[in-house]
Amino acid sequence: MLSVVADVGGTNIRLGVLDIVSGEISKVREYPCVQFITLDAALAQYFVTLSDPVSHLCIGIACQVEHDLVQMTNLNWKFSKQALQQKLSLKTLHVINDYTAISLAVPFVDDKQKIKIGSGTEVEEGVKAVFGPGTGLGVSHLLKHSGKWISLDGEGGHTSFAPNTSQQADVLLLLQGQFGHVSNERLMSGQGLVNIYHALCRLAGKQPEYFEASQISEAALNKECALATQTLNMFCEVLGSFAGNLAMSLDCKGGVYIAGGIIPRFIDFFQNSDFRTFFEAKGRMSSYLTGIPTFLIVHPNPGLLGASVYLQQELA
């Protein structure tokens, strides 16, 4: 009987088979979510590729998971945990938030799978913050208690955006006219890049040339568009301010970790950006933040790794 872990985002679903004894994950596959009408259809597609039946399944998914009915925020998928377990004939089913999974991966990511940004020294078992822009903006905190890593769930991506420059304030006013409440996710996500760029175009009195995040980042990296470059700069700035807020909220001496699929596309730009400057720019608390390290996770599948950590702890 097999144990399977799954990482379900707004764009892709990744799956793998977990060896409970060694902790190794094999038979990793990735599917675009748009290929399937439901989650169970995607799981069934993967299960038929395996030689043995699946007994245990842990799913990390990008939405709230407290109730039996799980409904994704950025994808039209919903399911009942109880019905899914029965349909797939599972002995155990664990459904956790995707950033619960990603945060649980952090203590097990080695030095080759993370890039340090700026100064600071990590306290090994100190509280850690984990967040990442992707289809949405996931946020979690991680602490160790009685020898076990515990992830603190939340919806930090939907907290209110606070500007720290006059240009950011101008962008906020435009986005308030469009959305009403402007969450951090409205700027720190794939769509957030588009929102910032279109707002900067309006402020400059120009028509936007790009309508996808990948187009904007590409134009910025290739120095083809000054507004695209401004967009990427602001994106890094607001990420830094947000990361600093997370660090102070729970005294994250264990560091702040950035995940998600966006920043690894422009690592050099990010390392040379004002991310760390805005991270530390907290007035009287700047010296406090100077000592807290920030890292970019470059592990290929942190969601799967974290789901495996969760499943191993539960089955143990």
Residues 35 and 57 in one domain: yes
Residues 26 and 58 in one domain: yes
What domain range includes position 117? Answer: 104-158+238-297
Amino acid 148: pLDDT? 86
Residues 45 and 131 in one domain: no
Q: Report the CATH number that the domain containing residue 64 is assigned in CATH.
A: 3.30.420.40
Last residue of a domain, one of 235, 263, 288: 235
Cα 234 to Cα 237: distance, rounded to the nearest angstrom: 5
Least confident of 40-44, 73-77, 290-294: 73-77
Residues 16 and 43 in one domain: yes
* Closest residue by Cα to residue 110 from 295, 304, 303: 295
Residues 9 and 58 in one domain: yes
Q: Does pTM top 0.85 for this prediction?
A: yes
Q: Which residues pair with 17 in a beta bridge?
A: 4, 26
Residues 7 and 79 in one domain: yes
Last residue of a domain, one of 183, 205, 235: 235
Last residue of a domain, one of 216, 235, 254: 235
Least confident of 15-19, 122-126, 173-177: 122-126
Residues 130 and 213 in one domain: no
Q: What is the pLDDT of residues 27-51, one digit of tens each?
A: 999 999 999 999 999 999 999 999 9
Residues 173 and 222 in one domain: yes
Q: What is the pLDDT of residues 156-185, one digit of tens each?
A: 999 999 999 999 999 999 999 999 999 999
Residues 40 and 93 in one domain: yes
Residues 152 and 45 in one domain: no
* Percent residues over pLDDT 90 in the chain: 89
Q: Which residues pair with 93 in a beta bridge?
A: 57
Backbone phi, then psi, for 33, in 5-degree steps?
A: -60, -30
Q: What angle do CA 5, 17, 2 make, to 5 degrees?
A: 100
Give how many domains the chain has, as a whole number: 3
The secondary structure element, H or E, covering residue 179 is: helix 166-179
Q: Report the CATH number that the domain containing residue 148 is assigned in CATH.
A: 3.40.367.20
Amino acid 138: pLDDT? 87
Q: What mean pLDDT comes out for the span 192-214?
A: 97
Q: What is the pLDDT of residues 257-267, one digit of tens each?
A: 999 889 999 99
99 pLDDT band, cuts 50/70/90, is confident
Residues 254 and 120 in one domain: yes
Residues 270 and 305 in one domain: no
